[in-house]
Amino acid sequence: MTIDLEALYIDLHRHPELSFQETRTAGIVTQHLTDLGIEFEEGIGKTGVAAVIRNPSTGSGTDRPVVWLRADMDALPVEERTGLEYASTARGVDASGTDVPVMHACGHDMHVTAMLGALERLVATKDEWAGTVVAVFQPAEEHGAGAQSMIADGVLDRFPKPDIVLGQHITPLPAGTIGVRPGTQMAASDGLTVTLFGRGGHGSRPHSTIDPVVMAAATVMRLQTIVSREIDPRDVAVVTVGSIHAGLKNNIIPAEATLELSLRYPDDAARERVLEKVERIVRAEAAASGAEVPPTIVTDHTLPPTINDPVATTRLTHAFNGAFGEGTVVDPGMFTGSEDVSWFAREAGVPLVYWFWGGIDPEKFAEAKASGTLESAIPTNHSPFFAPVLHPTIERGVDALVVAAREFLGAPEGEPAEAK
């Protein structure tokens, strides 16, 4: 049976699920794994699935080499505005209990589709390679918690340990293009919740209060000076205040305000510098406002930088160029977005290669580039308008995973490695 990948993608796109709620998606994954005769375990790290294809190595009786492939499954609380016939109208309840729209605005539906297509191909060509493939369908990447949740649930102990971890992400590059670079591919990040404590009271008597709304406004503005005035312009750092919550009525000065921050940096040294500056500013602005209770700063998640192994990345770049033609692979630069895929490689102590593949109509991309409107005309991940073209995006996603896996797997018995 051949998987109808277009139908699979459309179905996943129509039925997105929030982090740690990917039960329907996981069920579709396990049904296809069952149809393909691939052994698997479900419910790892709550809603994760891991599958294994064992194809013993040449004459050794072992399962080495072991290649791990990873795809994430969760969607975002975004209301889709693409206008597609198969656009999501789904809703869900987020971790705070709030009813929200749900959309695959980051393309994880494409990740799952490409992974299942690649596994189908690898099963069909088992006579052409040797080793073990472990496919990880990970929940909750958008919360930065899914990889660690699966690791805490023993995925590295319950499945053959990797020799290398491979993964990919759809991005607004021209369809057919692969974007990868050695070294830091994506930034490290922290999510912080800052709570500022004031003294509430009547809006007509501000002098009897300590206004946390004004305190929050001053803090937000001062935080912007970290990157603009305290970071070397040659370095990379991002400080974003993504949400502010304070008050319920216009004539009530609330007792507290909450800020949610997203911080990004290329390495651990930069992380320490930015975190120190954030803490200094938050505490200083609270003191300047006369706060009687010091603010709290809680780390909601920490993601390490996604660092591609230089040797393995060079090797895979050659393989991609050989399979898809010279010029297919571009250096996309370091992305200031963050990922949790590297936890698998870090915990196992093995190399990682993580690449991007394009999903934008090449003609539209070229037109936008020529007119200087790439930033405004081409929707990016997390946009309510983000919608990869189906073809050749699906095919390239499948092919890239297969080429990558085969590059690091062994050759069948009696066949030289270069023939694989």
Q: Which residues are annotated as a binding site for Mn(2+)?
A: 106, 108, 142, 169
| Rounded distance between C-alpha atoms, residue 137 and residue 130, angstroms | 22
174: three-class secondary structure by DSSP = strand
Phi/psi at 323 (5° precision): -80, -35
Q: Show the DSSP H helices in 193-263 as ranges.
A: 212-225
Q: Is the dihedral of CA 82, 387, 7, 90 positive or negative?
A: negative
| Rounded distance between C-alpha atoms, residue 420 and residue 263, angstroms | 43
Which residue ranges make up the annotated binding site? Answer: 106, 108, 142, 169
Contact yes or no for 305/342 (Cβ under 8 A): yes
Contact yes or no for 14/86 (Cβ under 8 A): yes
Burial bucket for residue 113 (CB in 10 Å: 0-12, 13-18, 19+): buried
Buried b (16+ CB within 10 A) or exposed e, 162-176: bbbbbbbbbbbbbbb
Q: Is the dihedral of CA 70, 76, 80, 86 positive or negative?
A: positive
Q: Angle formed by the axes of helices 268-288 and 212-225, to 10°? A: 140
Q: Is the dihedral of CA 355, 21, 142, 145 positive or negative?
A: negative
Nearest to 29 by CA among 53, 54, 1, 50: 50
Contact yes or no for 75/103 (Cβ under 8 A): yes
**Look-up of token digits 């975004």:** 78
Q: What DSSP line would sit under 306-359, residue for residue?
A: EEE-HHHHHHHHHHHHHHH-TT-EE----BSS--STHHHHHHHT--EEEEEEEE
Contacts of 25 (CB under 8 A, 6+ apart): 12, 15, 17, 73, 112, 137
